Amino acid sequence: MEKQAIIKQHLEFSREDCYHCGEACPSMEVVLGDKCFCCEGCKTVYEILHAHDLCTYYELAEQPGVQLTLPSSLEKYSYLDHPEIQDQLADFVSEQEVRLRLHIPQIHCASCIWLLENLYKLRPGINFSRVQFLRKELSVSYEPSLIQLKELVGLLASIGYEPAINLGTHSSTPRHNKELLYRLGLAGFCAGNIMLLSFPEYLGLTAFEEGEFSQFFPRLNLLFGLPVLLYSAYPFFRSAFQGLQHKKLNIDVPIVLGILALFGRSAYEIMSQTGAGYMDSLAGLVFLLLVGRWFQQRTYDSISFDRDYKSFFPLGANILKKGEVESVPFHTLKKGQTLVIPHEGIIAGDGILLSDAAHIDYSFVNGEAAPVKVEKGEKVFAGGKQLGTSIQVLLRKEPSQSYLTQLWNHESFKENSAVSIGELANHYGQYFTLAIIAISLLAGILWLWIDPAKAAHVFTSVLIVACPCALALASPIILGNAMRIMSMSGMYVKDTGVIEALTKLDHIIFDKTGTITYAHLQHISWEGEPLTTKNISLIYSLVHHSTHPVSTSIKSYLEGQPTEIFQVESFQAEKGRGLSANIQHSHVRIGKANFVNVNQLYKPSQTHAFVSIDHEVIGCFILGNTYRKGLKKMIGELENYSLALISGDHQGERTNLRTLFGEGVPLLFQQSPEDKRAFIQHLQQQGHHVMMIGDGLNDAGALKVSQVGMAISDNNLHFSPACDIILEGKTFSQLPDWLQFAKTSISLVKAAFIISIGYNIIGLSIAVQGHLSPLIAAILMPISSLSIVGFGLLTTTLSSPKKGAE
């Protein structure tokens, strides 16, 4: 243990942040002038930008860069050469110009915008580029004779902004709801003008009452009211009608009744010259209701929640045809073709490995953390990621027939979410509507006895005043604001209904790999005698020659320390056992216990790589899963929920997980995607409300059937399966706070309901007595709505966990 501390300390001394991306520099080796970089990738980006006079990039924001994960080669993008794929991607194609939009998830700050909009300085042929920040989209126009699409994408990747190009992203681009803005603008325009024209009425200017204007102003108001009724209020009519078709009284039914009563009564009064009408209230009401809708409808364009397997695969693949590599669109792949899969490429379909050996990462497909080694002639499956150098695979099935796609096409994925999410407002709206109709009829009938002339007046007054504007605004404003607060911390909720579902949960089910552990970060530590500089160099020189995942882990672990690469003699790699070689007159062996000759007891849960130098064991590297930060504390805070862990991986980590989760929590291992789904459905049959938290394709079924499916994402670029909530990995440990916040929000909505019902009682008591005048309506209705909006915004912001922590 002490030795580790020494090594760490050594690292700490030389640590400085990378000039490009702000990551800590493990070694001081990558230096240019007085600037230090964490890796060659970042240095290259800096050099590119420096050479093109683009260093303003570093002045706009501190260390704005994105760390390059892998040196990308153009080979990876060769499928973009295919004209069919180009047509699919581009918005406009001609010989002189191609325009297209690329989704770039890495866009995150002002510097990104600046650099991406100055692309034309980097390469001739790029005419123009513009960033759409909220959608994280780059619109580019380029000259195809000067730069190819492949080169453009390669250029973006080389400066750290690799576009996400796959089948899913381009089939549908989310369009902003402009319609709602038009309706909102029109309602606002009319409301303002009507109020202005109603001023004489408000102020009781008698000169106008008798004069020629007494008819002119109200009739102008009626004219302004028409477009509000016919165009702006249309969504409410549609929604109420749809509700009635399904025999449901939703909140829009009393709203529509109120709107119709307002308009009908006003039109009658104005035409019969008996009054000034309520057009100001009508326009104001519709305007405020639309503001509520707009608040609720602000969506996250850059995130899509309903993705299927198609978005996981790239648009095209490389095949071998008559000895030459050729790119073809994904959907034209046929059985019997030979796929060429580059480093980090995704296997498009089930097949047989033609190359000698390969390491394939199936963590996304089945949850196994460690890469699988596949020998020549063995089967490989679609969805795996290839880790070594380029391999060849003979396709045995077309992509649409692969195990992965079959899994996805299982009927459970087609079912809609088992539980319909009842919206609070609609739930209460039902009783509300019935009550309003009853009260208005009752009051109308009563007045028939008292004063038949006033009966119709009272009947419509009740409908007008009872129009549940405040009630209808409460839930969109409060839950919409809660959604926005959550998104600022990296929790993206699909819609407001999900917040409601969050409050009813009693079970939370976790996946292991990628969910409670970091997806691709293997924890590695050294146990044994302290590593001398010479030993470090010896080990480094040996693992340097191997591409085995354990070797690469050890290599990256040692990378920060002063190493020399020595000449290696008689290098031997024994399959599944270890490496050995003679280096600097020493015999170095790294591998399994029996390979290095140790009889030490060790935990089978972890991978050990023992090291011996000249047949003397000096220690071992231990590789294991890294759990997310704050996991233990978080599990402690979730004591009110029943927890369970359900993993596709082997049970190597069982003892660790047992101590983390405590006794009595079911820990299930080696579960197929089908098992996971069945487990959740079983819980649901017992009447439980279940949240599934997962990340991979193997969780997709479980995410879909659970009441709330939450996908964890460490990198926006990564695909995440269809779900209700996307949670950024860094926010994971705050989950209990957010669950609590969801509950608070729902209580706030209920509180707002009570306030709005209070307003309604006041209004109704006036209306039932027959005292409602346009002036009272013009004051009461906006006050009730605006106070609810103010209440909602203030309370949700104050009760957010962020505020509480400060």
Partner 1 sequence: MSALYVLIGFSLLIALGFFLSFIWAVKSGQYEDDYSPSVRMLFEDESLADVPTSKANQKPLDL
Binding site for partner 1 (CB under 8 A): 56, 60, 110, 113-114, 117-118, 120-121, 127-128, 131-135, 176, 178, 181-182, 185-186, 189, 192-193, 196-197, 211-213, 216, 220
The nearest distance, CB 287 to partner 1, in angstroms, is: 13
Question: Nearer Cβ to partner 1, position 300 or 518?
Answer: 300
Question: Nearer Cβ to partner 1, position 99 or 504?
Answer: 99
Look up tokens 């009051």; give the residue: 443
3-state secondary structure of 339: strand
Question: Nearer Cβ to partner 1, position 13 or 92?
Answer: 92
The nearest distance, CB 478 to partner 1, in angstroms, is: 22
The nearest distance, CB 301 to partner 1, in angstroms, is: 8
Question: Nearer Cβ to partner 1, position 76 or 135?
Answer: 135
Distance CA 806, CA 799 (A): 12
Backbone angles phi, psi at 616, to 5 degrees: -115, 120
Distance CA 756, CA 226 (A): 28
Q: Which residues contact 347 (CB under 8 A, 6 or more apart)?
A: 339, 341, 360, 380, 381, 382, 383, 384, 385, 386, 393
Specify whether the CB–CB gap between 231 and 285 falls below 8 A.
no
DSSP 3-state helix, strand, coil percentages of the chain (rounded to 5)?
50, 20, 30
Q: What is the number of other CB atoms lying within 10 angstroms of the CB of residue 560? A: 19
State the amino acid at position 538 in one-letter form: L
Distance CA 573, CA 485 (A): 54
- Residue 551's nearest CA partner among 567, 533, 527, 573 is 573
Question: Nearer Cβ to partner 1, position 116 or 735?
Answer: 116
Question: Nearer Cβ to partner 1, position 188 or 497?
Answer: 188
Question: Nearer Cβ to partner 1, position 197 or 691?
Answer: 197
Question: Nearer Cβ to partner 1, position 118 or 733?
Answer: 118
3-state secondary structure 429-443: HHHHHHHHHHHHHHH
Backbone angles phi, psi at 351, to 5 degrees: -170, -165
Question: Nearer Cβ to partner 1, position 132 or 503?
Answer: 132
Question: Nearer Cβ to partner 1, position 178 or 575?
Answer: 178
Residues in the chain: 806
Sequential DSSP letters for 721-782: -S-SEEEEGGGGGGHHHHHHHHHHHHHHHHHHHHHHHHHHHHHHHHHHTT---HHHHHHHHH
Question: What DSSP designation does 134 have?
Answer: T
The nearest distance, CB 180 to partner 1, in angstroms, is: 10
Question: Nearer Cβ to partner 1, position 299 or 606?
Answer: 299
The nearest distance, CB 211 to partner 1, in angstroms, is: 7
The nearest distance, CB 128 to partner 1, in angstroms, is: 5
The nearest distance, CB 390 to partner 1, in angstroms, is: 38
| Helix-then-strand count for the chain, H and E | 31, 30
Long-range CB contacts for residues 775-780, cutoff 8 Å, separation at least 24: 775/201, 775/202, 777/278, 777/281, 777/464, 777/465, 778/195, 778/198, 778/202, 778/278, 778/280, 778/281, 778/284, 780/465
State the amino acid at position 189 in one-letter form: F
